[in-house]
Amino acid sequence: MRILLSNKFYYRRGGDCIYMLNLEQLLKTNGHDVAVFAMDYPENLDTPWKTYFPQEMGKLMALTRPFGSSEVRKKFNRLLDDFKPDVVHLNNIHTQLSPVMAELAYRRGVRVVWTLHDYKLLCPRYDCLRDGREVCELCFTGDKGPCLANRCMKGSRLASWIGYKEALKWNRARLEACTDMFVCPSRFMAEKMAQGGFDEKKLKVLCNFIDVDKCRKDDYAKDDYYCFIGRLSHEKGVGTLVEAASRLPYRLKVIGGGPLTEELKAKSEELKGNVEFVGFKQWDEIKQLVGRARFSVIPSEWYENNPLSVIEAQCLGTPVLGARIGGIPELIDEGVNGMTFKSGDVDDLEEKIAGMYRSSFDYGDIARKAMERYNAGKYYEEIMKVYGFVHE
């Protein structure tokens, strides 16, 4: 089978990029021919397909790219001509590339599959947050006017107008008409898509996978600390976590960076919290830090879809304390591989952190069950059904 994968970036930038790179390797390992289409970007991995990539988006392009620019159309059509895919599998493509690719492929009779990594098809902002803080579903009905009224895109009237017009052009009916299947990594995502009017027959719930072999360990001994790993930004709930941590005697290690790094450090110092900010780390160090932690905390305050941080922690034998929001609770078996708490509630988070310390977990069993659940072989069987290569 010939499969064309597309994502706006082609390097390990975020969960969407990691997913596509892992999927590319999985498909190649199983004997399929795979092409990729992304925006030309300095940090991209090297690939023979880069000659087809449209140039990096500049300020002027930001006004035209979201609607399907002539450059994207021309280069994607040339790739379709040369590669002749059986399936086009889209990922995070809005703004820099645009859904015009779905229409171009579908018109040729190519099967179009689209894995959803955020809520862009429902919310022009993509994250369902008003003012970057308050959970909002006002645009789910199809009326995207609230995006303009609330200046949801970066607080800018112009950016919000572009987001509004983009949502009007690539509306639900138009996207459904050129997409055979939307892959939703969580039931929560599928439920929100259905709530927004999308045809449930075109929604396939399929949890993400990882390379479980990279998580294998000789032992599951733990050190006396717990951890957070992720971007240090408001929607990740790290401010709530730092406040809760300051009330407790346990040591917290924060892995990652982001716009709130200095603010959170100052807050921790002011509260005299027992928090160590270790910064951004590569996988070998992450494996050691997360793998040796008593547990990991995912304190998100937005509709997380299917966070790899939960999946990777569990595959390392580390239980997870997760916020009850988005798709996080679907990954946690209460009292077995972790616990949950009310998102944004510092008192409940404080209580549950203490509860995690009081509880005992079978770390080896957590790892074994997670690696069975999230392994690539199982995912491959299911994605082949989505591609129409194997009938259910």
- The pTM of the full predicted model, rounded to 2 decimals, is 0.93
SS3 string of 59-114?
A: CCHHHCHHHCCHHHHHHHHHHHHHHCCCEEEECCCCCCCCCHHHHHHHHCCCEEEE
> How many angstroms separate the Cα of 180 from the Cα of each of 118, 127, 152?
18, 24, 30
Query: For residues 258 and 330, what is the distance between their CA atoms, to the nearest angstrom?
Result: 27
Residue 66: predicted pLDDT: 77
> How many angstroms separate the Cα of 143 from the Cα of each of 66, 132, 171, 174, 196?
19, 20, 10, 15, 11
Helices (H) and strands (E) in the chain, counts: 14, 14
Q: Which residues contact 382 (CB under 8 A, 6 or more apart)?
A: 206
Query: For residues 167 and 55, what is the distance between their CA atoms, to the nearest angstrom?
Result: 23
In this structure, what DSSP letter does residue 56 have? P
Give residue-wise pLDDT tens across range 162-197: 999 999 999 999 999 999 999 999 999 999 999 999
Residue 97: predicted pLDDT: 93
For the chain, what is the radius of gyration of the CA atoms? 21
Low-confidence residues of the chain: pLDDT under 70 = 57-60, 62, 389-392
- Phi and psi of 264, rounded to 5°? -70, -35
> How many angstroms separate the Cα of 231 from the Cα of each of 79, 163, 290?
34, 24, 15
Burial of 240 (0-12, 13-18, 19+ CB in 10 A): buried
In this structure, what DSSP letter does residue 11 have? S
Residue 60: predicted pLDDT: 65
Residue 64: predicted pLDDT: 74
Q: Are 28 and 110 in contact (CB under 8 A)?
A: no
Query: For residues 345 and 135, what is the distance between their CA atoms, to the nearest angstrom?
Result: 14
Burial of 284 (0-12, 13-18, 19+ CB in 10 A): exposed
Of 15, 21, 100, give the one whose Cα is nearest residue 54: 100
3-state secondary structure at position 259: coil
